[in-house]
Amino acid sequence: METREVVVIGAGPSGAVAAALLKRQGHDVLVLERERFPRFCIGESLLAHCLEFIEEAGMMDAVRAAGFQIKNGAAFACGDTSTHFDFRDKFSPGPGATFQVQRARFDKLLADEAERQGVEIRYEQEVVAADFGGETPVLDIRAADGTTCRVGCRFVLDASGYGRVLARLCDLEQPSALPPRKAVFTHIEDRIDDPAFDREKILISVHPEIRSIWYWLIPFSNGRSSIGVVGRVEEFGAPGEALMDTLRHMCDGAPNLRRLLGNAQWDTPANTITGYSASVTSLYGPGYALLGNASEFLDPVFSSGVTIALRSSKLAADALHRQLRGEAVDWQADFADPLMVGVETFRAYVNGWYDGSFQDVVFYEQAQPEIRRMISSVLAGYAWDRDNPYVAEPGRRLQALASICAGSTARAAATA
C-alpha cells in the first residue's frame, strides 16, 4: 500500500488551490482526479473574492495571462427594467474585478499550476471506497483501465464537487433545504452587436411573468457566451422535448434575451442538471474534511459555488497545516463555523431571490448608495465580511430592506 501525507480527491479549483496551499507549506500532497482534464463544467462567472485565494496559491499571474474575460459586476433585467451592481463600488475591501472563464480551460490551468509547484496529480483515478476506522485513512482507487490500488495517508480533503465522493461513501448526504430546481444550458457564438451590452458583467434576467424562472448570460473573451435557464422542474418543456428546443423556447420568454441573441449561433448541444442543491450532515470527520460542492451547494444564481469552494480550501489548508505540525485543531471552530458564515449569507440571498424579496431589492430604483455598496459586496463574494450589516444579519436585514422596497413600489403603483 502506498503511503502519502495528504490526499486530495478532485483536481477542480478547490482541490488545486488546497493542494497548492499545502504544498507551499512543505507538505506532501497527492491529488486523485476521476476525469481527464480539460473537461466541461459550469460555474463560469467568478466572484471578486475568489482572486484572493488564487493569489495566495501562487496562480494569479497565470490566470491574468490566460486572456479570460474581465468581469467587474452583475447586471439584472426583467422586462423593460434593468439595473447593475459594480463590484468596484463596494463596502468590503478586496479586489473589485474578476473573470468570466471557460471552466475547461480555467480548471486545467489551476491544476497545471499546482503541478508546476510540485503537487502530484493522477488523472482517471476514481476513489471507490474509504476507510476511516483505522489508525490512518485508507482509500481504494480504481484506474480507468480497471486496475486497483490502495493509498493510506494522514488526512483526506474531498474536493470532488458534484461527485460528492465522501458524502456518498461515508453516508453523509442529507436533503437540501432548498427545493429541487433544474438548469438547461449551452455555449453559443453570441454575435451581440448592441453597443449598450456590457461584456464585463454577467447578465441575470428574470422571466417577466414567472419570477421563479431566471437566465444567465456569461460573455467570454472570444465572442462566445454561456447561456442557461433555471426554474422548477415543472416549468420546463414537456417530457421528451429536445433540450435545445426547451432552452431556446424558454429564452424567447425573456424579451431582452430575445433581442440580444437575435443573431446568435446556437452551435453546441444543450445540457442539463436537476436537483443540484445538496447538503451533508457534517463538513468534517476523523481524518477528512469536505470542500466546496462536495459538501454544500446552494444555487447558481449568484455564482457563489467557486467562491465557497475556494474559501473552504483556504480554511481547510490552514487548519490541516497546523494539525500536521502537531497543533490541536478544533475543526468545528476553525473550519466548519467560519465557512458556514458565508454559506448562510448566500443562502439568505438565494431564498430571497426565489421568494421575490431580493428581486425587489435588486430592481429598487431609489436605493441609498451606501446600502447598494453593501449589497454589491455580497454579490462580489464578500459574504464573510461581518463588518457589513447585510452579512452580520443577512436574513433580518434583507427582509427589512425588501419590505421597504416592496412598499415603496406598491405606493408608487397606487398613485400612478
**Same CATH fold assignment for domains 2-66+101-175+277-329 and 182-274:** no
pLDDT in tens, 81-134: 999 999 999 999 999 999 999 999 999 999 999 999 999 999 999 999 999 999
Please name the residues in contact with 303: beta carbons below 8 A apart, sequence gap of 6 or more: 43, 45, 46, 47, 202
Note the pLDDT of residue 408: 52
pTM of this structure:
0.94
pLDDT in tens, 251-286: 999 999 999 999 999 999 999 988 777 788 899 999
The dotted CATH code for 182-274 is 3.30.9.100
CB 353 within 8 A of CB 361: no
In b/e form, how buried is each residue of 264-293, taking b as 16+ CB within 10 angstroms?
A: bebebebbeeeebbbbbebbbbebbbbbbb
Instruction: Write out the DSSP string of 281-346.
Output: S-SEETTEEE-GGGT-B--GGGT-HHHHHHHHHHHHHHHHHHHHTT----HIIIIIHHHHHHHHHH
278: which 3 cell numbers? 445538496
pLDDT in tens, 320-338: 999 999 999 999 999 999 9
Angstrom distance (rounded) from CA 75 to CA 85: 6
Give, in words, the CATH class of 2-66+101-175+277-329: alpha beta
Note the pLDDT of residue 241: 80
Which of 55-69, 83-97, 196-210, 289-303 shows the lowest per-residue confidence on average (mean pLDDT)?
289-303
Per domain, the residue ranges of the chain are 2-66+101-175+277-329, 182-274, 358-415
